[in-house]
Amino acid sequence: MEAFEKALEVNPRSAAAHFELALLYEKKGTEPAAAIYHYEQYLRLRPGAENADILVKPHILACKQELARTVSLGAVTERQQHEFEHLAEENQRLKSEVQAWQTMYATNPPGPAPAAARAPQAATSTPSTPPNAAPSSSANPGRTLSASVAGARSHTIKAGETPTVIARKYGVKVEALMAANPRLDARHLKVGQVLAVPPP
């Protein structure tokens, strides 16, 4: 993770580095917001990525569900429960499709992809991307979740700002802001640091 973070400091437009960091953050299991951010950056830099629909978007959905578990929503209505169940079913369906694609390509790998369609090269690694996937229509900039994911935004910390000030500015609860940024130390905010801002 440190190696890919350094790679992004040198080249912030390295889509491959964002992809690898997203996988690592998701695998870590404690920072789904960071994983979503890097997945979204990857899709923004590679809007026609072949693995967008069969790999990246299902992972974003899974991270979104994991992030939702960390936020206290209070009493859950019957409608919300149905929506959660629908999301879980959709996630399971997407996972099954991904597994089917992986099985198909494992038994019948395609020939080399055209140079323009090959996955981007990372600093020390290359993301494994199933070829011939449908192009993505998602290309939202910045540290944001796509509208299909959660409609979140980003905020760059300025001098004198506190989590309370930032949360009030976007009309969100401080707890939700902190949950969306699990690595954030509320007592030591850094000017220039970018935060993920959850929807109100």
Is 56 within 8 Å of 145 (Cβ atoms)?
no
To which residue do tokens 């949950």 refer?
179
What's the pLDDT at 75?
60
**What pLDDT score was predicted for residue 111?**
61
pLDDT score for 118 = 53
Q: What is the DSSP string of the chain?
A: -HHHHHHHHH-TT-HHHHHHHHHHHHHHSS-HHHHHHHHHHHHHH-TT-TTIIIIIHHHHHHHHHHHHHHS---SPPHHHHHHHHHHHHHHHHHHHHHHHHHHHHHHS---PPPGGGSPPP-SS------TTPPPP-----SS---TTTT--EEEE--TT--HHHHHHHHT--HHHHHHH-TT--TTS--TT-EEEE---
pLDDT of residue 60: 92
Report residues of the chain scoring pLDDT below 50. Answer: 122-131, 133-150
Residue 102's pLDDT is 83
| pLDDT of the residue at 125 | 47
